[in-house]
Structure 1
């Protein structure tokens, strides 16, 4: 057993048990000893973490990519997590959460990723919210089969700032009414399958140019503007579909709450929404009548962690009205477990002070826990958790995750979503131009195989003579080779380049644990930047009079350069390439090439103003 605090029996008061049930921990990494590598992903539940869950009465966990190896493994992990929770004094199941939005935020690589919310927004002119319903149904069927009962989705931020680095293609668009329609459809679909939906990020993260993983954003609009834009999707969803959960944003909103706090450095700052009682309790809980769970965004993000001590952050957000404090503490090695027990006790002690100071009442805390437990009863069947054999759960999951129906839907989404952002009437359809030599530019071997397959399939369907294909794979090009790259295009009469255009954010990887890794993973001077390769090749092709096709994956806000350098430009949003039964596939490449060859029309319409 883990050593108790100060060598005394490990005993938690009722308030301390309540605090633990209002905390969500991630279990991304755990080392078996304090001297071992703490960056080992948790794919099997260590005995130490299982005991910690049982002893502490922890209420919730969130999983990341490091926790996902394969379908059977994930089912066993979630099964073991629940057994540890049910063995606690509280005897309550865990809320097991994940960010499975689709597109750029997708944690389980073996699942069906889809192309993200902006791709769904691009289909609304022809399909309304039909594909949003279908895609979210498929995603949560897979989550439920894996033992996950809460999806941190949908994102209902209105992306009305083209420089937004963290929302961007995660948004359905920049029109609040349409974002609301998609958000409502997604929430209905998620909760109809028995998974809790989470609208995020309240009161809105769409009009910022700072990533709250790295700083504290601020929105300076007047209340009338916020009420007519940012708040619209939340208000309509609360009224129509009663979402189980809403996640807060680490953003300053002076028009909603201009009060200040003293940061841990002594600086006076406007309070962020996550810590604002006026925003979480008065606005969301009372005025907007939200009766579900209020969960914070990750409290280890710089928007909070740079300004609050961890204990103070949890106490402040509970006083503000949050039900779940997400990721306020890292357990990465055995010695962290006792520190976490001490952390719970520190939070409870400070909450007692807040109760004495009349900043919060004991009744409010008990109502918060009752709210959490009410949703656990509604969405988590403890009897089934205890009775269904693990092997049966694993077998069922194998039949659901990335099944044929879901993969076909993933392709259907891209078929309807791809936007023809620039066209050349003399070049489309390509079948009439009959190119003999095609040069393709891709980032790696997987993209090469997926794009080559898409070209072959499209040419075959169009009954067009097969062209000769040469390829430049940037991952194999060194700086020393830069001068000779021009040789790749001299014999081509058509160039097809793929480029992933996006503003980098830690949300793509998972969060703050990735910050150091990204800071230290700098280029060593031996590899050439892929965007530079693409630009250089397109410029040379343009100078030589060679026709140029660009398939832009990711943000439409960043396509301007490629509009100038291409004859035909496709926007396929957060498309991905993956292996299926040994074949490399890309739904976006497939759809783009089908349009290029005249096998189908381009039906996607950008849901944002550029």
Structure 2
């Protein structure tokens, strides 16, 4: 399928984008003659219905002209509707997932000419519901004469995956892909990205905020870590470029993130405002390099997402925050970083989208109005999640926000110029990727395609290919960090300590499957797995150690979130969850005891592998997986997991390596001695 401008096929269709864009497409000739914008091939394309600057400066705008400007601003906004309470439950307490669009939210989209929507896991039940949700939004926009929406998702793979595994495998993630680079080059980046794109497009998702091309140079980075391909900027660039190219060939827009680079931070921008202290030379050769390489490759990303980080060597200027304090300007709000560096120096001509403006890195310091105005003036084309809409009151306040932002932007000549150029880029991108195509076919057509994609009975179905890629990546990425000569394990007496109950069951299932394949009866196996959500007594575990031959300790560092536990630990247990330092101290005590009693000790970092160096003195083997992805089905949220099913290609691959069924092929993308 080609994704160039194919408007001749639309002769029998008329898409009229009334109001702000007034774009009617009757044929390829009509596009050039009637569009708000000149042909996307024209380097000097200008919005034909742009408000004349002299008129703004000298005459009060009419209501219709003001409406046009508001519509332009609406195109520069991507909203989330993760939750919505029609009973007007206060916004902070509203937790009703939105899985179908109520009339009042459809009205928000068309009334304000909103440019796009981002979906989260809460919005998604299954494939059929997702197609229906997306089709209803795009159909409404078409009926109201509005441009098609960017419908976006964060489907990076690994721990950042919004779609349920039954619809799209999460895969092992970027660092696992990075671990395959030495042997397989960019093959897995291409295969994973292509599969994600092929799965997303029929579901009505046309934009993926992926991949992360941050260089993970900080071992204690709390937010990027395994979302990064590598600590090597050249490897990140090569894998990122392959990912972008494969994704966009399917027709799904790719957004590389988080510019100018979030890899060397100690603070998560979801909860604070990180600062990177590299000098400019190091910034350009490290953090910025992957962005520069990909932007100037043959796989130019449709979008670049900015980071909520302070980077003084790139911009040390300050802004007064909402508390009256001077703040070094975050990259998202920095003209030097977005316009001068990204646009001018790196030559990027695509769309700049902010990271979510409701994140604490921005919202703690700036009001929604301040954040939007500063981001737009800095050069951002799209404000992502600038305002949270959860009830009717929020809808009214959002309208007021649009009014305030419109007035502020109209008062500044440079802001108006930026607005016109930005809207041109948005329209060109929507045309280039043919976002209108989704509603030019009946919804039944897409439902049939999705059903075929998910039909596991068909050996050539997309879902079967996805399972094959998922298994292959998990096996190709497993890395023996040390202790190669002490593999395979030859004992049937094993004890495991795992981060939670779900990982215990995933490991147990993988282990018993292996023993079954080699003809071992379960009665011959002595195995126990202890979850470490709540710590048991050390004396009890030491007694178990004394009666085993091998102890296997799984670790997730940084600590995974409660929502990632898998739902098999009781609510009470989760509330009493041990801190990571406590888990580390406990595991260290047990491993030291095991080593002192001549037991074989295997350490398995399931996330970042840096910690393996710390435990090396009292371990024999360390194996990194870079992923702790599991699939839990039919599990009770209260820990009553009768009939539960927990599967994981990651744990399957781990067991195969431990037992010598396959050789580990991966190479760690980060330097362990960095800790």
Q: What is the TM-score normalised by the length of structure 1?
A: 0.89
Q: 1:203 aligns with which of 255, 260, 263?
A: 260
Cα contact 1:24–1:61 (8 A) shared by 2: yes
1:76-225 aligned at under 5 Å gives the runs: 76-89=132-145, 91-110=146-165, 111-225=168-282
The one of 76, 84, 96 equivalent to 1:40 is 96
Specify whether residues 337 and 217 from structure 1 end up closer, same or farther in structure 2 by C-alpha distance, changes over 3 A only: same
Residue number among 540, 549, 553 corresponding to 2:602 in the alignment: 549
Quote the Cα distance in structure 1 between the aligned partners of 2:632 and 2:220. 33
**How far apart are residue 523 of structure 1 and its match?**
5.7
Shift in Å, 1:562: 4.1
Tell me, in whole angstroms, the C-alpha distance in 2 between the residues paired with 1:532 and 1:76: 50
- Distance of 1:105 and 1:192 partners within structure 2: 22
Distance 1:128 1:80, change over 3 A: same
- 1:312 is matched with 370
* Counterpart position of 2:408: 350
SS of 1:339's equivalent in the other structure is: helix
1:65 paired to 2:118: no
2:622 aligns to what? 569
Q: Is the 8 A contact 2:499 2:556 kept in 1?
A: no
Cα drift, residue 535 of structure 1: 4.3
Displacement of 1:251:
1.6
Q: Please report how far the alpha carbon of residue 397 of structure 1 lies from its aligned counterpart in structure 2 after TM superposition.
A: 1.8
State the SS of the aligned residue for 2:315.
coil
Give the deviation of 1:545 after TM superposition: 2.5
Match of 2:360 in 1: 302
Who is 2:290 aligned against? 233
Q: 1:12 to 1:474 in 2, by over 3 A?
A: farther
**2:527 is equivalent to residue 474 of structure 1:** no
Instruction: Give the direction of change, closer, same or farther, for the CA distance of 1:561–1:228 in structure 2 (3 Å limit).
Output: closer
Q: 1:71 to 1:193 in 2, by over 3 A?
A: same
Q: Contact between 2:534 and 2:576, CA under 8 Å: does it hold in 1?
A: no
- Map Cα deviations across residues 554-599 of structure 1 (whole Å, 9 max, x no partner): 1112334443443222110123121589853222212122122222
- Taking the aligned partners of 1:436 and 1:152, their CA distance within structure 2 comes to 45
Q: Distance in 1 between matches of 2:228 and 2:293?
A: 16
Q: Which has the higher contact order (CA 8 A, sep 6+)?
A: 1
Secondary structure, counterpart of 1:13 in structure 2 = helix
- 1:341 and 1:298 map into 2 onto residues whose CA distance is 19
* Pair 1:525–1:133, CA change in 2 (3 A): closer
Corresponding residue for 2:470?
410
Distance in 2 (CA, whole Å) between partners of 1:364 and 1:159 is 33
Residues 263-301 of structure 1: per-residue CA shift (max 9 Å, x gap): 111111221111111211122112211111000011111
> Which residue in the other structure is 1:16 paired with?
70
1:504 shift after superposition: 5.5
Q: Shift of the alpha carbon at 1:83?
A: 2.0
Aligned to 2:418: 364
Per the alignment, residue 449 of structure 2 pairs with: 396
1:609 matched to 2:644? The reply is no
Secondary structure in structure 2 of the residue aligned to 1:429: coil
Greater shift, 224-233 or 437-446, is seen at 437-446
SS in 1 for 2:155: coil
Aligned equivalents of 2:384, 2:150: Cα separation in 1: 12
* 3-state secondary structure, aligned to 1:118: helix
Summarize the Cα distance change of 1:482–1:380 in structure 2 as closer, same or farther, 3 Å threshold. farther
Asked if residue 50 in structure 1 is aligned to residue 106 in structure 2, the reply is yes
Q: Which runs of no fewer than 5 residues in structure 1 stay unpaired?
A: 1-8, 510-519
Q: Assess, with a 3 A threshold, how the Cα gap between structure 1 residues 563 and 66 changes in structure 2: closer, same or farther.
A: farther
Quote how far apart the aligned CAs of 1:319 are.
Answer: 0.7
Matched, 1:491 2:547: yes
Corresponding residue for residue 479 of structure 2: 419
> Which deviates the most, 552-561 or 143-152?
552-561
| Residue aligning to 1:592 | 654
Change over 3 Å in CA distance of 1:221–1:212 after alignment to 2:
same
Quote how far apart the aligned CAs of 1:128 are.
0.8
CA distance in 1, matches of 2:611, 2:239: 24
Give the stretch that moved more between structures: 112-121 or 64-73.
64-73
Q: SS state of the match for residue 551, structure 1?
A: strand
**1:153–1:579 CA distance, 2 compared to 1 (3 A):** same
Structure 2 unaligned segments of length 5 or more: list them. Answer: 1-62, 455-461, 566-570, 635-643
Cα-Cα RMSD: 2.8
Whether 1:455 and 2:515 are equivalent positions in the alignment is no
Pair 1:532–1:79, CA change in 2 (3 A): farther
Residues 216 and 230, structure 2, Cα contact 8 Å, conserved in 1:
yes
Change (3 A) 1:452 1:521: closer
The verdict on how the C-alpha distance between 1:232 and 1:566 changes in structure 2, with shifts beyond 3 A counting, is same
How far 1:534 sits from its partner (Å)?
4.2
Contact persistence 1:213–1:506 (CA under 8 A): no
State how many pairs are aligned.
581
CA contact (8 A) 1:54 1:87 kept: no
Counterpart in the other structure of 1:27? 81
SS in 2 for 1:559: helix
Q: Residues 494 and 522 from structure 1, CA distance in 2 versus in 1: closer, same or farther, beyond 3 angstroms? A: closer
Which residue, out of 441, 455, 463, partners 2:497? Answer: 441
Does residue 261 in structure 1 map to residue 323 in structure 2? no
**Pair 609,476 (structure 1): closer, same or farther in 2 beyond 3 Å:** closer
Question: Are the equivalent residues in 1 in contact too, given 2:135–2:439 (CA < 8 A)?
Answer: no
Q: What is the TM-score when the length of structure 2 is the normalising length?
A: 0.80
Indicate conservation of the 8 Å contact 1:118/1:173, yes or no: yes
Q: What is the DSSP-based 3-state SS (H/G/I as helix, E as strand, rest coil) of the residue aligned with 1:329?
A: coil
Paired position in structure 1 for 2:391: 333
Cα distance, 1:212 vs. partner?
1.4
Deviations 1:31-65 (A, max 9, x none): 11113751111112222211211221111111111
Alignment check: 8 A CA contact 1:248 1:295 kept:
yes
CA distance in 1, matches of 2:280, 2:648: 43
